[in-house]
Amino acid sequence: MKVDVVLAPAMQYGSACFAPGLQVVNALKVLPRSESAPLGPALAPAVAQIARIARQMGIPRRIGAQVIALGLVAAGVSLPAPAAAQGPGPVLVVGDSLEVGTEPYLRQELGGVDLTVDAKTSRPSGDGIPVLQSALRPDHEVVVFDLGTNDDPSNPGGLTANLESAAQIAGDRCLVVATINRPPLNGVSDDGLNAAVENFAAATGARVADWRSAASEPGALQDDGVHGTASGYALRASLVAGAIRSCAAGTTSAGGGGGGPALLKPAKPVKAPPPPELGPGLALLAAPVLAIVDRAAAILGFARAAIAAAGDALHSAVELGGRVVRRIGELPVE
């Protein structure tokens, strides 16, 4: 049965505690969230009894609340999920053929986000400025200026000027740009274009989707060294989507003029840490349970010592009685 853990103000046994997604202020009460029998309220007396025993044993209220809360976690009781992070508002994307290939995957990445994409093959950054000007709506919160691959690598200053124009049009909206990956043109590499993108982002705080790094992943590019494969476009979309989401999470905007760029790089595989030795639930319960066990052991140790002392006293009394009986038996009979 799926249940939720909520506060029970009438029960004054708990205190603040730590547990994933849960803060206990007074105490815990379990309420059902199904059409089955109301087992939840029946657990409330048990919770109260646990708290009462903990009090009688001298367990601090904080520890007692942890035991109750973490016990429910270990038992599989569902806890209230944290509120979902606020997503980005309406997004406008202006791009070239790379964005044509990225768009379907970007829509999948962003789900229900209001996304407007204007992408055209062979579009240089200069041609994107009037498109941005005409397509931008007052409610757009994020602007993705995904251009520069079709610019002349021998004239990075032209890209810089167009990026600055895009930032002026975007105003205080969050601006996302991308690094560039393309083969050399007339012996000139894309280093100057990428320097223009990075310097612009450093000066304005624009978000940067690092396509240049992602394009080096095996299988990301077609044979032309420019356009992505299906997996490459999917990777590119994840970078652009991550930059867009960072706009909603962060405070630096295209016109902010500070804080530096947010550089979104392709994710690297991370080895999962080994599971806790006792398992997730038992690991969480270990500290508070050990506190109760120590306290119980102390109480039981006192009781055992008392019983041992009483046994010794009884043994002494029996031994004394035996001596008396033997002494009486040794007296002469008159």
pLDDT tens digits for range 257-272: 334 455 655 555 445 5
pLDDT digits (tens, 9 = 90+) for 70-112: 555 445 555 455 444 567 899 999 999 999 999 999 999 999 8
One domain for residues 66 and 100? no
Instruction: Write the CB contacts of 14 (distance below 8 Å, at least 6 apart in sequence).
Output: 24, 25, 26, 27, 28, 51, 61, 64, 65, 68, 69
Give the end of a domain, one of 239, 264, 289: 264
56 domain residue, yes or no: yes
Structure confidence at residue 1 (pLDDT): 45
312 domain residue, yes or no: no
- Domains identified in the chain, total number: 2
One domain for residues 126 and 42? no
C-beta of residue 52 within 8 angstroms of C-beta of residue 13: yes
Angle at the Cα of 77 from the Cα atoms of 75 and 78, rounded to 5 degrees: 145
**pTM of the predicted protein model:** 0.54
Structure confidence at residue 28 (pLDDT): 41
One domain for residues 154 and 225? yes
Structure confidence at residue 322 (pLDDT): 74
Structure confidence at residue 11 (pLDDT): 38
One domain for residues 124 and 23? no
Structure-block tokens of residue 109: 């990445």
pLDDT band at residue 47 using 50, 70 and 90 as cut-offs:
low
Structure confidence at residue 88 (pLDDT): 87
How many CB atoms within 10 Å of residue 149? 25
Strand partners, 174: 142
136 domain residue, yes or no: yes
| Mean of pLDDT over the chain | 74
307 domain residue, yes or no: no
Structure-block tokens of residue 214: 């992602």
pLDDT digits (tens, 9 = 90+) for 130-140: 999 999 999 99
Asked whether residue 35 carries a pLDDT value surpassing 80, the answer given is: no
The more confidently predicted of residues 112 and 325 is: 112
The more confidently predicted of residues 278 and 314 is: 314
Give the end of a domain, one of 234, 264, 294: 264
Structure confidence at residue 69 (pLDDT): 54
pLDDT digits (tens, 9 = 90+) for 298-309: 666 656 666 666
One domain for residues 68 and 98? no
C-beta of residue 200 within 8 angstroms of C-beta of residue 176: no
One domain for residues 37 and 107? no
Q: What is the CATH number of the domain that holds 192?
A: 3.40.50.1110
Structure confidence at residue 224 (pLDDT): 96
Structure confidence at residue 46 (pLDDT): 57
How many CB atoms within 10 Å of residue 208? 25
The more confidently predicted of residues 31 and 197 is: 197
Structure confidence at residue 189 (pLDDT): 97
Give the end of a domain, one of 264, 282, 311: 264
303 domain residue, yes or no: no
Structure-block tokens of residue 205: 């705080």
Structure confidence at residue 17 (pLDDT): 38
pLDDT band at residue 254 using 50, 70 and 90 as cut-offs:
very low
Asked whether residue 179 carries a pLDDT value surpassing 60, the answer given is: yes
Instruction: Write the CB contacts of 278 (distance below 8 Å, at least 6 apart in sequence).
Output: 286
- Find the domain containing 153 and state its range: 91-264
Query: Which H helix or E strand runs over 143?
Result: strand 142-146
One domain for residues 56 and 98? no
Structure confidence at residue 116 (pLDDT): 97
One domain for residues 43 and 168? no
One domain for residues 44 and 95? no
51 domain residue, yes or no: yes
Structure confidence at residue 64 (pLDDT): 55
One domain for residues 23 and 168? no
Q: What is the torsional sign of CA 91, 95, 99, 100? A: positive
One domain for residues 9 and 143? no
96 domain residue, yes or no: yes
Looking at residues 167-176, what average pLDDT do you find?
Answer: 97
Looking at residues 246-263, what average pLDDT do you find?
Answer: 54
pLDDT band at residue 36 using 50, 70 and 90 as cut-offs:
very low
Q: Is 246 helix (H, G, I), strand (E, B) or coil?
A: helix
Structure confidence at residue 13 (pLDDT): 36
295 domain residue, yes or no: no
One domain for residues 151 and 247? yes
Structure-block tokens of residue 204: 């304005």
